[in-house]
Amino acid sequence: MTSAAAATPAPASVLDLAPVIPVVVLDDAADAVPLARALVAGGLPAIEVTLRTEAALDAIRAIAAEVPEAMVGAGTVLNPAHVDAAVEAGSRFLVSPGWTPNLVEAMRASGVPFLPGVSTTSEVVTLLEHGITEMKFFPAEAAGGTAYLKSLASPLPQARFCPTGGIGLTNAPAYLALPNVGCVGGTWMLPADALRAKDWARVENLAREAATLR
């Protein structure tokens, strides 16, 4: 697909696109398009490009323009300026490691789906009060892992999560089996040596394996 008209339509929820959202850190925007094509071919169309490097916004622009079948988003969104820059670059969803009232207000005003980061029950309840039911649980393993999320399912069944942080191929299925987990975020399908070697075939194979986890 090469035209914007062929872009993947926005789903009812970012959490429902695939079992895994790859969390991408790019130092060279030239790698963005072949990397995104490999992930999409492997069955992972939602791609979170973190705003941790100077290449991030250019990478998002390139994916949005040249890989319309991907649903590219921005991660490590920390402030309203990040929100504006990410959406201007073509981000179709936003992910933050945590949240503040100003950040949530900006993400809501952006018009694109967003996953504010939480790690405590009080944060979840506060966001639910504001009508936000979909969140990133971060750092997942350090914050209590599957046991913590399982304990939230009964008292807060309306909250759904994308756990990220310390999740890999071996423990992802345990998260995905929980009723309040829509998908997980991870980097294991993006090994550093494969990225350095531009081994997109390996990335595609690892993405395909991740896409079958549920």
Cβ contact 159:128 at 8 Å: yes
Q: What are phi and psi of 102, to 5 degrees?
A: -65, -40
Please say if 136 is a catalytic residue.
yes
- Answer whether 70's CB lies under 8 Å from 36's CB: yes
> CA 118 to CA 122: how far, in whole Å?
9
Q: Which residues pair with 163 in a beta bridge?
A: 137
The active-site residue, picked from 54, 66, 136, 204, is 136
List the catalytic residue out of 48, 66, 69, 123.
48
| Surface-to-core class of residue 105, CB atoms within 10 Å of its CB (0-12 exposed, 13-18 middle, 19+ buried) | middle
Q: Residue 130: which residues within 8 A CB-CB, separation 6 or more?
A: 104
The one-letter amino acid code at 111 reads G
150 is known as an active-site residue: no
Q: Kindly tell me the burial class for residue 154, based on how many C-beta atoms sit within 10 Å of its own C-beta (0-12, 13-18, 19 or more).
A: exposed
Tell me which residues are annotated as active site.
Answer: 48, 136
